[in-house]
A and B are shown apart, each in its own frame.
Chain A
Amino acid sequence: MLTPSDERELAEAVSGAVRPLAVRGGGTRRVGHPVDGDDLTVAGLSGITFYDPGALTLVARAGTSLALVEATLASEGQMLAFEPMDHRKLLGTSGEPTIGGTVAANVSGPRRVRAGACRDFLLGVRFVDGCGRIIKNGGRVMKNVTGYDLVRLMAGSRGTLGVLSEVCLKVLPRPESTAVLLLAGLDVEVAVRAMSAALNSPYEVSGAAHVPVGLDGDPVTMIRLEGFEASVAYRAGRLKARLAEFGPAEIERRTEGPESAAAGWAWIRDVEAHGGTGEDVWRLSIPPRDAPALVRNLGDARVVLDWGGGLVWAAVEAGRDARRSIASGHATLIRADDETRNRLGVFQPETEPLATFAEGLRRKFDPQGILNPGLMG
């Protein structure tokens, strides 16, 4: 295991590598084709190097734990607005998620539907490419169109084009209060219409999820509102009236305990419904209007819908190809054994010429093919 403790050592570790490297942060999100290589972790590159609450920006070394980043922000009443998912319960992994891993996998949560994804909050990166060169792109300002946007290229490239050493993120104020509207008993088609009506209202919905089998066994649809207390109360009332055709909405305002808004959304965010089962888990990013048809196509799969239907987490019988069920969008095989991952492919296959371009980028950034080779195809 290679454990560099700063960017210089990281660059030396990569340039001195004689075998492929399996690059990781905390190792809690082992998604992708299995990589045969020497383990390289950036967990040793740790620490928040810059935080300016008045400019809404935070810079952290890639190995900094997500927990430290979130606690630091919370102490100033701020947060990572993209609400990164914790994969540990779903994948049965242990260890500490890092900010670098979060960025490398472009991990977002329920608030993505309004606020944007991890990649939308990434302002700058420093990384080491496959030749050991230290490269920077972006910076720490909110608007930056200087040169090509390698910041977004690095987000979600899972260590195949470079190893992140430092990231700069835009952060946002933590909302003063939260309300959740709960609609009971809707079938998927009606639930997607209800979520769409909520998201298309002017009330700034920051989460819209549906679970056909909730904790008490019945379907539940959850709509979240966040902001200043008076505003949340006003919008909750208006939205409840607007959604009247979908049945009476219960407004959940508890802040503590398992029924609290925070616990409920963490349950959706971390896809806890699919944790600890033997099924394969697919992440299907689709046009929300396609959600009802997709759920029908999936048959007896267990599903959790987020992003108003734009994200479907499907737990299917091991070995089954759920990718065939989507009409358009992207299907990613998040949890399955090695054999299934190799047979079905983890990521949505790229069409030509994008597949050729992807290979071209890997050759440019990693000419010797040592950074997570094969992980993304």
Chain B
Amino acid sequence: MDMPAPSIHVLNRKSRIVERLTNALSAEHVKSDPVETRAYECDALTAYACPPLCVVLPGSTCDVAEAVRICSDERVPVVPRGSGTSLAGGALPTSDCVVLGVSRMTRILEVDYESRCIRVEAGRTNLSVTDAIEEDGFFYAPDPSSQLACAIAGNIAMNAGGAHCLKYGVTTNNLLGLTMVTMDGSVVEIGGAHLDAGGYDWLGLVCGSEGQLGVVTEATLRILPRPEGARPMLAGFASPEVAGACVSDIIRAGVLPVAIEYMDRKVIEAVEGFSQAGYPDCEALLIVEVEGSPAEIDNQLGVIGNIARGHDPIALREARDADEAARIWLGRKSAFGAMGKLNDYICLDGTIPVSELPRVLKQVGSLSRQFGLDVGNVFHAGDGNMHPLILFNANNPGELETCEALGAEILKLCVEAGGCLTGEHGVGIEKRDLMHVQFGPADLEAQMNVKDVLDPAWLLNPAKVFPLSASATRRAAA
């Protein structure tokens, strides 16, 4: 993984920069000792790490603006950080950067049930947003797997998704407003408790921009009333292709489940060994969850069951109560942990049209054999959001590289099938150099033009998203 050479001018001025930041905030919230900054050297893409120049943990939007102004003035790159759970290296520091972490900013600022929204500081974790409104019967819909730990700031940066997006949409569909600090130190307010703005869609543009256009400090999120109930059904099939065809038929039938999750044999076996969820012995299984009143759930599961029966299921199991529902979800929720027990892995999230699932799954299988590395598939099938987990042993020299090469081939396959490189994790550094596969030079140029406008010196979250070769001229000029 190439990263640009750090700026010697910045490195030489480390003590002055740290001093200015310390004076502006407080010594306690500026960390420059290598022992203290160790926790910030990487995110959840642990294969790559780099100690930053220093770490700043502001307590308010004002503090963030002050810190950003100093960094801008000193021409220091800024790497914004939520909880550091990015699987794509979205919060990977450079040695000449200031990591700007919003993890201390976790307050609920306002709950407004009349307008159905909540305003929070962006360091608040995803799940704790729902925690704050659950008693009143509401929830915040996007539910990335890391929701216990991940921050709203990172969710917005990456436009995070989750298992229940099929019905409720991803972050961008549930974001009503935000406060962010742009690299010139301005505090920008976008949107609010109302639904649609008349001008340009700044919310849409900032959401998913991977912290490269501004540092998000507060957010207004759409909240929804909890459904009366939810219940899953489990169906096991003789082949991945049949399971894939079943997914397409369910969607076609006009039922809109909240989630359709897929697991293949590799993952089923791993989770059985890990959590004894009692899954059937089959090549592929689906977990389909629907919501509503008990009668509505029965009705919808009836329709889905009939569709599944048309595909000769090896097993078909409907949860009758909360315990059975929990058992069905247990294996799915422990899938990543279970795979981690087997070996090291990298997890990709290329997304394809649902109708291409059978063909692409088959080709992933042949690529896995060709590269000699096992691949387990566990993913959000309803929206075609794949999650191939490539197993490798980091202690074997060269195996990480082989693993990355296989990953690149799988992602190219996703793009060829009419899909994209990443459905919910983001580009970060991980997929940066594959952007050429999906976009032509003019497409990338148009995106980089946006960054030129909001961050003309290219200081925010450097060396992410765009191939270094594509951004070289801009970075050199800045």
Contacts and interface: CB of A to CB of B under 8 A. Distances in A.
Contacts of B292: 231
B462 interface: no
B114 A364 contact: no
A176 interface: yes
A156 B207 CA distance: 16
Interface string B415-448: 0001111111111000100010011101111110
Contact of A149 (B115, B172, B192, B255): B172
A199 B435 CA distance: 41
Interface string A221-242: 0000000101100110010000
Contacts of A119: 201, 204
Interface centre among A113, A133, A134 (most CB of B within 10 A): A133
Nearest to A360: B453
Interface centre among A55, A310, A365 (most CB of B within 10 A): A55
Contacts of B4: none
Contacts of A315: none
Contacts of B199: 156, 330, 347-348, 350, 354, 358, 376-377
B159 A149 contact: yes
Nearest to A120: B173
B398 interface: no
Interface residues of A, number: 87
A289 B110 CA distance: 14
Contacts of B435: 146-147
Nearest to A376: B199
Given A287-B115, A364-B453, A56 B251 contact: yes
Interface residues of B, number: 96
Interface in B40-69: none
A288 interface: yes
A46 interface: no
Interface in B125-170: 137-138, 158-159, 161, 165-166, 169-170
Nearest to A155: B201
Contacts of B295: 230, 234
Contacts of B293: 231, 234-235, 238
Contacts of B159: 145, 149
Contacts of A360: 452-454
A217 B186 CA distance: 50
Contacts of A332: 198
A332 B195 CA distance: 13
Contacts of B192: 287, 328-329
B228 interface: yes
B209 A148 contact: yes
Contact of B204 (A155, A331, A353, A361): A155
B438 A106 contact: no
Given A152-B172, A230-B296, A353-B188, A139 B420 contact: yes
Interface string A77-114: 10000000000000000000000000000101000110
6 contacts: A108-B196, A120-B169, A149-B209, A202-B228, A348-B199, A354-B202
